[in-house]
């Protein structure tokens, strides 16, 4: 098949719409549903991310995409009991690829609502069962077991989008896109991200353990497929905060850092101890937790809205308790798709437990950024490669 007609483009008024190949066959097969224009943009970007992440780390990888940027990405390491409870995966049998998706989804569950999932490995029944519980638009993977496909075909009243991609497909080296009737041409960003990029450690502290190297690779590959400007916080092989599409680098760092803080606050004992009303939907739980850890929750408590969500009135998580809990965070890695122009990015990152930084370098103020890292004993590596994505 060389062409697939779509219902419309980005918006209903944008017709006709299709995906097609100028040469050869499409590398994808729709196994269920009717994916749209934005679905395929998410699917193809997400697939590149997980494919490269597995190649770089040797571990199964997954991503959760929304509007052509990852809400989360991760490799498939086992989950702790706390992580299982945080990600609503208690009591579930989880394969390595299922763990990868649970982690990717868990980076920012609020933003992953209605996501597009991408898997580096064949989708098995364990992954399909977890996907079946979440609000998701579709999934792309190099294959599906019969049991997994049967589970996914029942999702969304039979309309869940399931796309299979040829894992051996290699795109052309030159790519094109049209903007306002003008065709742009560029070489495809086939730059390979690997551990050798992390050798140029520019700070006094040069202690970079293997786990931090892996997290740097996760950050860089995630950034490669995130709309620029972008910054990504990573811990234990999992993105925990992605700041995408900001005009200012510090705003990226703040946005991603705020998400990383929220990720940690979701593991606070008071949050894990919340008693929800029986039968509450997973998205409603996510929304309630997000409000609970926000600064507005005391106002919500005063309004009595808690009665629709919780069995008992929750005790407020105070500002001081949140500050103290976030202060326990450590060992976090942050990556940036372009250089940090000022030390303020380092100052903000360290507040979220950042110990390792990877970025291209090349700013006229590199010396100031390095000095700020040295002030806090942070390890920083320069890759020399910008990773803009538009």
Query: Which residue among the candidates 32, 45, 161, 229 is catalytic per the annotation?
Result: 229
Q: Catalytic residue among 51, 66, 213, 322, which? A: 66
- Contact between 216 and 225 under an 8 Å Cβ cutoff? The reply is no
Residues 364 and 305 in one domain: no
Reply yes or no on whether the pLDDT at 173 is more than 90.
yes
Residues 7 and 76 reside in one and the same domain:
yes
My answer on whether 260 and 307 are in the same domain is no
Contacts of 217 (CB under 8 A, 6+ apart): 53, 56, 57, 193, 194, 195
Are the C-beta atoms of residues 29 and 164 closer than 8 Å to each other? yes
What tokens were used for 282? 């997973």
Average pLDDT over residues 28-50: 97
Exposed, middle or buried by CB within 10 Å (0-12, 13-18, 19+), for 178? Answer: exposed
**Is 390 among the residues known to form the active site?**
yes
Q: Do 147 and 261 fall into the same domain?
A: no
* Same-domain status, 285 and 359: no
Q: Choose the final residue of a domain: 107, 131, 165.
A: 165
67 labelled catalytic: yes
**H-type alpha helices, 58-159:** 81-86, 96-106, 125-133, 146-152
Question: Of 67, 153, 251, 351, which residue is the catalytic one?
Answer: 67
N- to C-terminal Cα separation, the chain: 28
CATH number for the domain spanning 31: value is 3.40.140.20
Please give the pLDDT value at position 235: 98
d(CA 214, CA 348): 22
CA atoms 390, 29, 169, 173: torsion sign: negative
208 and 345 both lie in a single domain:
yes
Domain extent for 363: 191-265+330-382
Work out the average pLDDT over 250-270: 97
- 165, 183, 218: which is the final residue of a domain? 165
The 10s digit of each residue's pLDDT in 80-97 is 999 999 999 999 999 999
Q: What is the pLDDT of residues 99-156, one digit of tens each?
A: 999 999 999 999 999 999 999 999 999 999 999 999 999 999 999 999 999 999 999 9
Do residues 13 and 35 both lie within one domain? yes
For 120-132, write each residue's pLDDT tens digit.
999 999 999 999 9
Which residue, 111, 104, 95, is CA-closest to 63?
104
The one catalytic residue in 11, 13, 157, 390 is: 390
Residues 212 and 297 in one domain: no
Q: Is the peptide bond before 92 cis (omega within 30 degrees of 0)?
A: no
Kindly tell me if the per-residue pLDDT of 304 is higher than 80: no
Query: Is 161 considered catalytic here?
Result: no
């Amino acid at each position: 098949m060389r062409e697939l007609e779509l219902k419309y483009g980005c918006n209903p008024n944008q017709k006709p719409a299709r995906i097609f190949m100028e040469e050869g066959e499409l590398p994808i097969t729709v196994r269920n549903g009717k994916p749209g224009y934005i679905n395929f943009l998410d699917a193809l970007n997400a697939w590149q991310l997980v494919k490269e992440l597995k190649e770089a780390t040797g571990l199964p990888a997954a991503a959760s995409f929304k509007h052509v940027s990852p809400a989360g990405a991760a490799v498939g390491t086992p989950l702790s009991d706390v992580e299982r409870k945080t990600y609503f995966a208690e009591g579930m049998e989880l394969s390595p690829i299922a763990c990868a998706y649970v982690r990717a989804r868990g980076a920012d569950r609020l933003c992953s609502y209605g996501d597009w999932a991408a898997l580096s490995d064949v989708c098995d029944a364990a992954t399909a069962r977890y996907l079946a519980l979440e609000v998701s638009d579709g999934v792309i993977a190099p294959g599906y077991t019969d049991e997994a496909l049967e589970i996914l075909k029942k999702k969304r009243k039979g309309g869940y989008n399931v796309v299979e991609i040829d894992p051996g497909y290699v795109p052309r080296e030159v790519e094109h896109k049209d903007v306002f009737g003008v065709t742009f041409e560029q070489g495809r960003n086939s730059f390979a991200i690997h551990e050798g990029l992390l050798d140029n450690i520019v700070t006094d502290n040069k202690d970079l353990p293997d786990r931090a190297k892996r997290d740097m690779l996760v950050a860089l590959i995630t950034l490669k497929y995130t709309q620029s400007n972008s910054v990504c916080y990573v811990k234990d092989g999992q993105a925990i905060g992605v700041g995408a599409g900001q005009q200012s680098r510090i705003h990226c760092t703040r946005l991603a850092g705020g998400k990383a803080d929220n990720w940690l606050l979701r593991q606070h004992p008071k949050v894990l101890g919340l008693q929800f009303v029986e039968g509450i939907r997973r998205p409603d739980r996510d929304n309630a937790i997000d409000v609970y850890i926000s600064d507005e929750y005391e106002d919500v408590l005063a309004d009595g809205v808690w009665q629709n969500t919780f069995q008992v009135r929750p005790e407020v998580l105070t500002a001081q308790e949140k500050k103290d809990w976030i202060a326990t965070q450590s060992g976090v890695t942050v990556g940036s798709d372009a250089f940090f122009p000022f030390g303020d990015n380092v100052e903000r990152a360290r507040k979220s437990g950042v110990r390792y930084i990877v970025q291209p370098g090349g700013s006229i103020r590199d010396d100031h950024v390095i000095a700020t890292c040295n002030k806090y004993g942070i390890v920083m590596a320069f890759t020399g490669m910008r990773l803009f994505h538009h």
